[in-house]
Amino acid sequence: MQIKKGSVRPVRWCYDYELTSRNQKNDFLMWTTGMFPYLLHKGNVLLTEKGLSLTNSYGVIKDEVPFTRIQTVYLGYDDLYPPRLSKNSGTFWSPLRLTLDNGMKIYLIVFGYFGIMIRTKLWFESLKELLSY
């Protein structure tokens, strides 16, 4: 199943430069509380003809990522976003990482309807297919 253009889903995201400010105290709080302190931004992701649009909870566009700027799409953990940043240590979900042509990385967790299920893998597969053309 592929995500259709025009699809809007709840999302949490952060940038690589925000993850570099982490420390062990914050990592421990994340692990014990299960909150998402490093996915600092909350709103919606919209799949458009030209790329992704990230809006805040009020619908204000915070970032637009054209497909032409996306160099790699990766589903999983890395040095900046290790499994210990998720309460389940990466058992049930992993972040979607977009690496842009300027080297910046954006980490996303995409949710399904009503924010209940995590749909990051579905978005990963769809973006991979869209970018292969």
Q: Is residue 110 part of a domain?
A: yes
Q: Is residue 1 part of a domain?
A: no
Q: Is residue 82 part of a domain?
A: yes
76-80, 106-110, 113-117: least confidently modelled range = 113-117
User: Given 3-state DSSP classes, what are the helix, strand and coil percentages for the chain, each rounded to the nearest 5?
Assistant: 25, 35, 40
Q: Is residue 25 part of a domain?
A: yes
pLDDT of residue 26: 67
Of 12 and 26, the structure prediction assigns the larger pLDDT to 12
pLDDT for residue 16 is more than 80: yes
pLDDT for residue 128 is more than 90: yes
Q: Is residue 109 part of a domain?
A: yes
Range ranked top by mean pLDDT from 16-20, 53-57, 91-95: 53-57
Using only the alpha carbons of the chain, give its radius of gyration.
14
Q: Specify the number of domains making up the chain.
A: 1
The predicted-structure confidence for 19-29, as pLDDT tens digits, reads as follows 887 777 766 66
The whole domain housing 86 covers 8-131
Q: Is residue 59 part of a domain?
A: yes
The predicted-structure confidence for 38-68, as pLDDT tens digits, reads as follows 678 999 999 999 999 999 989 899 999 999 9
pLDDT tier at 32, thresholds 50, 70, 90:
low
Q: Is residue 3 part of a domain?
A: no
CATH number at residue 31: 2.30.29.30
pLDDT tier at 31, thresholds 50, 70, 90:
low
**Residue 22 DSSP SS3:** coil
CA dihedral of 70, 95, 49, 67, whole degrees rounded to 10 = 0
Q: Is residue 2 part of a domain?
A: no
pLDDT of residue 33: 65
